[in-house]
Structure 1
Amino acid sequence: MEYLTTTQIAEKWNISRRRVAKLCAEGRIDGAKLMGKTWWVPDDAEKPEDQRLKGKCNGQ
């Protein structure tokens, strides 16, 4: 299994590097590992659903 940095995953998922790091810290990305100050994410990891947008489609 290959691992990618938060920068590489951010580009792949079209989100910010900071958001990827936050998802890793919250344990929402399976297989993500913190080595030193760098998060490493499996290259086949799936992007978690954005819970911040939950309910906004219904005008809430």
Structure 2
Amino acid sequence: MKITVDEEKCCGAGQCVLIAPEVFDQRDEDGVVVLLDSAPPVGQHEAVQESAAVCPAAAIHLHEDA
């Protein structure tokens, strides 16, 4: 799994950080998502998928490995 985030779309809700703190963080100044791991291990995939599903701005994009 490969992850990309659209910082322009991010509204800083922080749900991704609560669900997958090993993969996502937020900038202190404005709360915009920071991607810590663009290719997380398999054990993180479920949390990452949930983070993408609950993102109110649809700023998290998941790409399956080919």
Would you say same fold, with TM above 0.5? no
Choose 1 or 2 for highest CA Rg. Answer: 1
Instruction: Tell me the TM-score normalized by structure 1.
Output: 0.31
Instruction: Tell me the TM-score normalized by structure 2.
Output: 0.29
Higher relative contact order (CA 8 A, sep 6+): 2
Q: Larger % of helix: which?
A: 1
